[in-house]
Structure 1
């Protein structure tokens, strides 16, 4: 049986890689479910054109999956939400890789999936959250944080409602545990590597550190840089997402699965941690090798004061002082200042998922080289 998948976020870093894998390689999993059509919902004609151009440039298509690109005007938010609900009501699986912080979008997706279930579709969901959910305060130094394990639903339930992404995750988890539909929440770590998608090729954290290092004319970390994060390669992150898509299409009721609140919650992370001084040193080596800086030794900038109510998201309101704006220009973004760790137990145990690619010095330098090339190309246009 051939299935239809709706993808939100196809022009993003992770969403683009999901799109690439969906249309170039078959799903693997129980009963080998097949995807006949991928509907990529994008906002704006320029994004739709970029996806079409990218698709036509692909050298090979190893599957017969049809890519359907739908351009929806987002100038009126309610029009966008209505369109998302309508499309979600006519597919077998929705993958939301667009945002983990839009509650109205989440409600629209959920409402559409419930309609899809009533219409006889498989009606499942894979939603991408993020591990800022469990990060420390942005202090730029190592502090102990709880080591959350995705196999412990009660521990995941204990996360504060005030945490970043939490209200969106709760909206989904409650619907799943109530039996409204079946689905999963995937919570990725610091994602590294190069996406093969149509638009965004790199994630945010390392490129931002490179930008701030160029501004400061020295590789830069915040505080003493001993703050640490878990990480995951883009390919392995997407492998977990698509393993869940395959699992849900094969078992759309979630039979035999844990239906407790957050019983279908998965971390996507490697077992090792990386600290931000190590990343800054790699940036220094690349910049020095290219003759952009005189020394490869990084410098430290202080961690700015923070408002705990920001939940990891700084909102620029146009009223910030010149001093604040200069701090933003020279200081790596919020997640580069925090600590975050967790244990991804469920993917390997339940889906045979493997996360083996280490973010070692060579991998970090490759990330830095790519981000630097992108930044320099942007500045020359």
Structure 2
């Protein structure tokens, strides 16, 4: 890397996670030494990022693979915070990573956003599991089938790290919650809402009744967006400073979690808040029909995975790097009221 500047390329910078990461990069103690580039679709957002925040925002999409390759070739560090499963985009970035390594002899740092969808089961809301996954045990992840969710991209990252032309780090968020905040939100640049909880609320509003998949018995972890984004910066700092002396590649999986919830408890809280505002017939969730789930998500399997599976993990490696998440399951439930208010206004 350059002795004076750290070049950073981030995809997904106008999204919920990527925008929260960019927010922190802009406030980093060494921000003056960063040269940050991103690729964004809306020209108006690119203009704001360039003129107000000093980010080199290139207009384009992840289908513009030539741009992805060219921009990643210039980067010491790549943050992949967009579609976890877009292998075409990742391969284009890999071309840039490899070209940079061949030119400089220094392995670029690649920080990718995957997810605990990797460890989901087919509970369909009907049971909880005792199985808990640990990021300090790479053999657990290696035992997963190659066709498990997110493996289509996670495995190529591990293989690229093994071949020695990048340092690969894979972050696996659980249910992320909380409304994003900061100067980028205020400027209208980034999405401030997550995916799973707003989807549950939207589905419930549409039917006029709080809902859940199956009986809501399955269990997931959760993590607040601020804790989540803070971890990316902790990992970024550690990777810059310690390079190969922190877990990477096959060992470089980092679960992000700080608390657990059953889907029933989460959906019950949503139903209660909606009922208080006259948007749910009762304060008790009822089971979504297959038709409702297919209409909302496109496939029953996808809906069951996203809203009715078990995914229990422990972020031991994340904490070993110094991550100290402060938000708990209690905060998860407290976040539902403002989410419902935003959804009803929309």
> Same fold by TM-score, threshold 0.5 exceeded?
yes
2:319 to 339, 343, 348: 348
CA contact (8 A) 2:14 2:40 kept: yes
TM-aligned CA distance change 1:326 to 1:257, over 3 Å: closer
2:43 alignment counterpart: 45
- TM-score, normalised with respect to structure 2: 0.87
Instruction: Report Cα offsets for 1:71-100 as digits up to 9, x if no partner.
Output: 1256xx3xx111101100001100000111
More displaced 10-residue stretch of structure 1: 331-340 or 9-18: 331-340
1:89 alignment counterpart: 73
* Alpha-carbon distance, 1:199 to partner: 2.4
1:279 alignment counterpart: 266
More displaced 10-residue stretch of structure 1: 107-116 or 143-152: 143-152
1:262 to 240, 247, 250: 250
Is residue 173 from structure 1 mapped to residue 176 from structure 2 by the alignment?
Answer: no
CA-atom RMSD in angstroms: 2.5
2:55 alignment counterpart: 67
1:239 to 217, 230, 248: 230
- Structure 1 gap segments, 5+ residues each: 28-32, 57-64, 305-323
1:132 alignment counterpart: 117
Distance 2:61 2:257 in 1: 35
Equivalence map 1:149-160=2 (5 Å): 149-160=134-145
TM-aligned CA distance change 1:337 to 1:363, over 3 Å: closer
Report the secondary structure of 1:119's partner residue: helix
1:372 to 326, 340, 346: 340
- TM-score, normalised with respect to structure 1: 0.80
CA contact (8 A) 2:293 2:303 kept: no
Report the secondary structure of 2:329's partner residue: coil
CA contact (8 A) 1:88 1:112 kept: yes
TM-aligned CA distance change 1:377 to 1:216, over 3 Å: same
1:36 alignment counterpart: 34
* Alpha-carbon distance, 1:205 to partner: 0.7
Equivalence map 1:216-231=2 (5 Å): 216-231=207-222
CA contact (8 A) 1:153 1:263 kept: yes
Distance 2:65 2:130 in 1: 36
Report the secondary structure of 2:251's partner residue: coil
TM-aligned CA distance change 1:100 to 1:294, over 3 Å: closer
CA contact (8 A) 1:12 1:98 kept: yes
Instruction: Report Cα offsets for 1:20-77 as digits up to 9, x if no partner.
Output: 11112336xxxxx97422112112424425656xx84xxxxxxxx8422111256xx3
